[in-house]
Amino acid sequence: MSNPSRIHEVFSYLRVADTAAAIDFCVRAFGGVERFRLVEPSGRIGHAEVQLGPAVLMLSDAYPEYGLNAPGKEGETAASVHLHVDDCDAVVARAVAAGATVLMPPTDQFYGERSCRLRDPFGHTWLIGHSIEDVTPEEMQRRYTALMNAGGEP
């Protein structure tokens, strides 16, 4: 018997103030490939897809009339996109050259990843990382507890 609620895929969907520029950023920063875009006669992009490795990122311009807003210029969003890559430092350099701002430089983390945090020119936060060691959940918890007891930032 099939499970009608089985999840087949999960997509990140970002609202931006300038989808065409965001697509260009994804291509230049992360080597993305635009799959397609749907453009209104006014020029507003209602939907676009960019292939990022095995994942598809969906984007659109803001539609405030439907409550679908883009982050403000300095706005922080509650969500972020995490890209697991081969070389964090190289991807960060490429993203910065494409217009990203480094919020946290590449750093070896307690959970076995070298990672960083960026903000794209559209206000979205991206986490970029690569694996540096395999860490069990128990060891990760031990390290996390030690970090928090020392007053660190996760």
Question: Are the CB atoms for 116 and 96 separated by under 8 Å?
Answer: no
Q: What is the pLDDT of residues 26-39, one digit of tens each?
A: 999 999 999 999 99
Question: Do residues 27 and 33 lie in contact, with contact meaning Cβ atoms separated by under 8 Å?
Answer: yes
pLDDT at 68: 82
How confident is the model over 21-74, as pLDDT tens digits? 999 999 999 999 999 999 998 999 999 999 999 999 999 998 888 778 888 766
Q: What topology is assigned to 1-67 in CATH?
A: 3.30.720
DSSP 110: T
pLDDT higher than threshold 90 for residue 3: no
The ranges assigned to domains in the chain are 1-67, 80-154
Rounded to whole angstroms, the Cα distance separating 39 from 42 reads: 8
Looking at residue 78, the DSSP 8-state letter turns out to be: S
Integer Cα distance of 92 and 10 in angstroms: 24
pLDDT per residue over 123-152, tens digit each?
898 999 999 999 998 998 898 888 888 876
Q: What is the reported pTM?
A: 0.78
Domain 80-154 in CATH 3.10.180.10? The answer is yes
